[in-house]
A and B are shown apart, each in its own frame.
Chain A
Amino acid sequence: MNSEKEKTFVKFEKIDKSYDGEVLVVKNLNLDIAKGEFVTMLGPSGSGKTTTLMMLAGFETPTNGEIYLDGMPISKIPPYEREIGMVFQNYALFPHMTVQENLAFPLEVRKMSKAETKEKVQKALDMVELGEFGTRFPAQLSGGQQQRVALARALVFEPRLVLMDEPLGALDKNLREQMQYEIKHIHDRIGITVVYVTHDQSEALTMSNRIAVFNDGVVQQLSTPDILYEKPENSFVAQFIGENNRMTGTIKTMENNYCNVELENGAGTVKALKVNVGEVGEKTQLSVRPERVSLGSEGNGENVFTGKVEELIYLGDHIRVRLDVCGNNEFIVKVPNEGSFDYNEGDSIKLNWNPNDIRALDLQN
Chain B
Amino acid sequence: MEVPISTAELLTTDGVPLKQSLKKAERKNKIRAFLLVFPLLLFIIVTFVMPIGDMLLRSVDDTQINTVFPNTFSEFKKWDKEKDELPPEEVYKALFEELAYGDKIQVGRALTRMNYSKSGWKSLIKNTSRAIKKAVKKNEFPDSYKDFLITANDKWADPTYWYAMGQMVNFQTPIYYYNAIDMTYDQDQNVIRQEENRRVYVQTWIKTLKVSVYVTFFCLVLGFPVAHLLANLPLRYSNLLMIFVLLPFWTSLLVRTTAWIVMLQQQGVINGILVWLGILNDDGRLSMVYNETGTLIAMTQILLPFMILPLYSVMRVIPKSHMRAAQNLGAKPATAFWKVYLPQTIPGMSAGGLLVFVLAIGYFITPELVGGKDGKLIGSWIAYHLKTTLNWGLCAALGAILLGVMLVFYWLYNKIVGIDNIKLG
Chain A residues in the interface with B (C-beta under 8 A): 57-59, 78-86, 88-90, 92, 94-96, 105-106, 109-110, 153, 157
Contact = CB atoms under 8 A, between A and B. Distances in A.
Contact of B319 (A84, A85, A90, A153): A90
Contact of B343 (A80, A92, A96, A106): A96
Interface of B: 319, 321-322, 324-333, 335-336, 339-340, 343-344, 346
A189 to B, nearest CB: 22
Chain B interface SS verdict (over half): helix
Given A90-B319, A92-B322, A109 B335 contact: yes
Nearest to A54: B324
Given A92-B322, A92-B324, A95-B344, 9 more contacts: A59-B324, A80-B330, A82-B328, A86-B324, A86-B325, A88-B324, A110-B330, A157-B329, A157-B330
Contacts of A92: 319, 321-322, 324-325
B87 to A, nearest CB: 70
Contacts, number: 65
Nearest to A82: B328
A80 B331 contact: yes
A88 B321 contact: yes
B321 A105 contact: no
Given A95-B344, A153-B329, A105 B324 contact: no
A97 to B, nearest CB: 8
A106 B319 CA distance: 19
Contacts of A95: 344
A89 B324 CA distance: 12
Chain A interface SS verdict (over half): loop
14 contacts: A57-B324, A78-B327, A79-B327, A83-B330, A85-B329, A86-B324, A86-B325, A88-B324, A89-B321, A92-B322, A92-B325, A94-B340, A96-B343, A105-B331
B295 to A, nearest CB: 36
Contacts of B321: 88-90, 92
A83 B328 CA distance: 8
B313 to A, nearest CB: 16
A157 B329 CA distance: 8
A333 to B, nearest CB: 44
Among B327, B328, B333, B343, find the residue whose CB has the most chain A CB atoms closer than 10 A. Answer: B328
Contact of B339 (A57, A85, A105, A153): A105
A79 B326 CA distance: 10
A84 B328 CA distance: 7
A85 B328 contact: yes
A80 B327 contact: yes
Nearest to B322: A92
B325 A80 contact: no
A145 B319 CA distance: 19
Contact of B322 (A82, A89, A94): A94
A109 B344 contact: no
A105 B332 CA distance: 12
